[in-house]
Structure 1
Amino acid sequence: MASVPFDQLDGFIWMNGEFVNWAEAKIHVLTHGLHYASAVFEGERAYGGEIFKLTEHSERLHESARIMGFSIPYSVAEIDDACRKLLKMQGFRDAYVRPIAWRGSDSLGVSAPNNRINCAIAIWQWPSYFSPEQKLKGIRLDLAEYRRPDPRTAPSHAKASGLYMICTISKHAAEAKGYSDAMMLDWRGQVAEATGANIFFAKEGRLHTPKADCFLNGITRKTVIELARARGIEVAERAIMPEELDSFEECFLTGSAAEVTPVAEIGPHRFQPGAMCKSMLEDYAAAVQPKHAVAAE
């Protein structure tokens, strides 16, 4: 995490087509996105001066906005270009990238179809979501009280800010008890994900992961599935019940912020980070490196 408050960092933020000083990137207190969560965002990482799967993230930002009922006034190509330029302006090689789009403050009420759609991008240096020490031995997860909702009750395939409310509550509760994070079930009682990352389990040389039918199908999740299958590892995307947890040998989380993070505990269930975690950690670390950097080696 940043050692100073985020609103006090130095540098620039791209906002509505312009690069502005970090401290000047502000919104009004009556912004619709603040009051009614009409906002979508992305979490991305730059490695060696290149943003991993940038266009895929920008496309998902547009798709999330579409699901939320608005259109971003900047194309995927324009957002990609702004991200690349901002990364250079910030002077970072390895960094975290946060694009966001939201309804503005033109009017305030549940219905605000004519409010301006704003878009901004911030880039800062943010190490892995979990400390290296935690990752090496495997993190500890609590069992969350809240569940991922039925997709008939929430836009579960959008990376929308409002969907993270129960994630914040669950992670805070877990941290208060000494855990790093929490695992959430879905409305059916099936294993879903952690509060900000997808989850995988390993048993007898195979990977098992919940089917992404009521939560975000993460870009890192899809990357790890591709990497595993390239190794000849079978990946089963299926319903996983809590009663199965004791039968799994290994467990890990995936996400742009979490990258690949081994798990040692989920409530009363224990796992031993081993060969599968190590392989996926190494393969993902290699995959995110810019091609020119790999070629130079």
Structure 2
Amino acid sequence: MAGYDDRDGKIWMDGALIDWREANVHILTHALHYASSVFEGERAYGGKIFRSREHSERLHYSASQLDFEIPFSVDEIEAAKTDVLRANSYSDAYVRAVAWRAAGEDMGVASSRNPVRLAIAAWEWGAYYGDAKMKGAKLDISKWKRPSPETIPCHAKAAGLYMICTLSKHAAEAKGCSDAMMFDYRGYVAEATGANIFFVKDGEVHTPKPDCFLNGITRQTVIGMLEARQVKVHERHIMPEELEGFEQCWLTGTAAEVTPVGQIGDYSFEVGRLTREIAESYEKLVRE
């Protein structure tokens, strides 16, 4: 497959659809140097983006957390995403909206005089973890920790927050793993590099309290599905030593969807009935 900079198709950029290869930015773009960028990852199923408006609203929220305002309304972003899917003749696709501080008068840490730009692209993308969706992903345990809310805008989906995720996933892949699980700054179980995490014990579900990391839209969806099934869900701080006692585990995220986990470090989990049922139910829900 060609690199992401060398493909046919259209990308929506600052209000217009342009050729894919022409969707470029200047080398002195502020976001490239100082990470002043926020984004969304979304999936379209049968031509319809799942929980699309919530993603657009979160994009605006993330921008506000980085002290800038996107010059397009939620309604305009929604229309643009539809245009991108139609222009590329996509039915099932991954959709990426990204907003950033562009090149302008400022080229230091401060950038209030620089314009804010917005782009939306889409491409066909299969299972994020490949065949792990069937047999269970293998996770490393990262040496990096999710930072304290006093140090970063932890509830924004901001580019800079993923730096340690990239490092963690590279280290995991070098060990033959699909991903890495991260602890938070206090030592509690937090999440994977780009997905939230759930555990099962004695028929009940346990998931880390999202007080220092993103409360994913897929995470919220799955919690609602579990509660509708009258499965008890505990959102709480989880200690590392508890991993040994959990029977099942799965990841949730727009890209990951619902992916079973078979191993985290030295701990093993079965791809059990509840994990499979939730994965199958999620697949049906997104196509309703």
* TM norm. shorter chain > 0.5: yes
Q: How far apart are 1:134 and its partner, in Å? A: 1.9
The reply to whether residue 86 of structure 1 matches residue 118 of structure 2 is no
**Could you tell me which residue of structure 1 aligns to residue 114 of structure 2?**
115
In structure 2, what is the Cα distance between the partners aligned to 1:282 and 1:136?
11
Structure 2, gaps ≥5 residues long = none
Q: How far apart are 1:128 and its partner, in Å? A: 1.6
Identity percentage of aligned residues? 57
C-alpha RMSD of matched pairs (Å) = 0.6
Q: TM-score, normalised by structure 2?
A: 0.99
In structure 2, what is the Cα distance between the partners aligned to 1:70 and 1:87?
27
Q: How far apart are 1:9 and its partner, in Å? A: 1.3
In structure 2, what is the Cα distance between the partners aligned to 1:45 and 1:91?
15
Q: How far apart are 1:112 and its partner, in Å? A: 0.9
Q: How far apart are 1:230 and its partner, in Å? A: 0.6
**Could you tell me which residue of structure 2 aligns to residue 130 of structure 1?**
129
Q: How far apart are 1:4 and its partner, in Å? A: 1.3
The reply to whether residue 264 of structure 1 matches residue 262 of structure 2 is yes
> 8 Å contact 2:127–2:133 — kept in the other structure?
no
Residue in structure 2 matching 1:46, options 44, 47, 52: 44
Kindly report structure 1 stretches of 4+ aligned residues shifted beyond 2 Å. none
Amino acid at match of 2:15: G
**Could you tell me which residue of structure 1 aligns to residue 250 of structure 2?**
252
**Could you tell me which residue of structure 1 aligns to residue 229 of structure 2?**
231
In structure 2, what is the Cα distance between the partners aligned to 1:91 and 1:235?
40
In structure 1, what is the Cα distance between the partners aligned to 2:145 and 2:44?
31
**Could you tell me which residue of structure 2 aligns to residue 8 of structure 1?**
6
In structure 1, what is the Cα distance between the partners aligned to 2:233 and 2:33?
41
Aligned length: 287
Matched ranges for 1:1-297 at <5 A: 3-106=1-104, 107-131=106-130, 133-289=131-287, 291=288
In structure 2, what is the Cα distance between the partners aligned to 1:288 and 1:85?
20
Q: How far apart are 1:116 and its partner, in Å? A: 0.1
Amino acid at match of 2:78: D
Q: How far apart are 1:251 and its partner, in Å? A: 0.1
Q: TM-score, normalised by structure 1?
A: 0.96
Q: How far apart are 1:13 and its partner, in Å? A: 0.4
Q: 1:62-87, CA deviations, whole angstroms, 9 ceiling, x for partnerless residues?
A: 00000000000000000000001110
Amino acid at match of 2:114: N
**Could you tell me which residue of structure 2 aligns to residue 294 of structure 1?**
none
Q: How far apart are 1:135 and its partner, in Å? A: 1.7
Amino acid at match of 2:123: W
